[in-house]
Amino acid sequence: MGRLETGNAELEKLAAEAAGVAASMLRVETGAQRRITAKSSPTDLVTDMDLACEAAIVDFLSAHRPDDGVMGEEGSVRDGTSGVRWIIDPIDGTVNFVHGHPGFGVSVAAEMGGRVVAGAVLDPILNEAFTAHRGGGARVNGLPMTVRTGGDPALALVATGFSYQHERRRRQAEVLGELLPMIGDIRRVGGAAIDLCWVACGRVDAFFEVGLNPWDYAAGVLIAAEAGAVVQDLNGGPPSSDFVFAAAPAVAEPLLKLLQSAAADRI
């Protein structure tokens, strides 16, 4: 194992430990009455636990790597001097958390030179830790995992998510109207990070969504890629806020063609 890979493996371990700090807090608070406010729309929620979990993650990382940068969904921003920046989503799927519904997780990723090199997504309800580092494969609870092999695109189980903005949701419904007759079925879990990890472990064949933020997909995209998924935007570039796509190789090309035909990135 080379020096860089060794460093990435250490960042993977730290990402999992940091995410675990928040996950342990969430296990005892899921579905409890929370102080809730809205952000970009009435359905875009933030709770006191989002803020508390992000603070706990930042404190943990700062204690271990004080020179690193930080970017968190709930406003934690710090420039670092080490070349490493942590991208944090303390609760990806807050609406699920508020309702006590499965499908939310904690996402922590380490970025160097503009590339995510390590990440962890923890599911507090299923007690699953999805982790990866660049070039080192992907794991769930420490065991290697890969995407589903083989598969018929016409039977593919495809995960997606919907925007908090009402007009964008209408457009996303139009895309589903074109896609659904051509595939096996759609799954809507409610957290992009968990969706991407479910591609990685083979629970779904593919995932796509438009309008995500970096903290939504940073760790999940790396985990899916290291598990063997095709990850990109709609037109062959890297995943971005414009479009995130991840799929098992056997179904990736035909699903991309269907999504391109539906202009799935037009919002």
Active-site residue, 94 included: yes
- Catalytic position from the list 111, 216, 226, 265: 216
Active-site residue, 92 included: yes
Residue 185: CB partners within 8 Å, gap ≥ 6? Answer: 157, 158
Closest CA to 246 of 193, 208, 189, 192: 208
- Catalytic position from the list 12, 54, 68, 92: 92
Block residue for tokens 């409890």: 32
Closest CA to 161 of 210, 232, 120: 210
- Catalytic position from the list 94, 195, 205, 226: 94
Q: How far apart are alpha carbons 145 and 180 in whole angstroms?
A: 28
Closest CA to 12 of 138, 105, 124, 104: 138
DSSP for 76-133 reads -EE--SSSEEEEEEEEETHHHHHHT-S--EEEEEEEETTEEEEEEEEETTTTEEEEEE
- Catalytic position from the list 68, 73, 195, 226: 73
Residue pair 123/20 in contact (Cβ under 8 Å)? The answer is: no
Block residue for tokens 């139009």: 174
Which residues are registered as beta bridge partners of 36?
47
Active-site residue, 54 included: no
- Catalytic position from the list 89, 195, 205, 209: 89
Closest CA to 226 of 109, 137, 102: 137
- Catalytic position from the list 91, 125, 194, 223: 91
Catalytic residues: 73, 89, 91-92, 94, 216
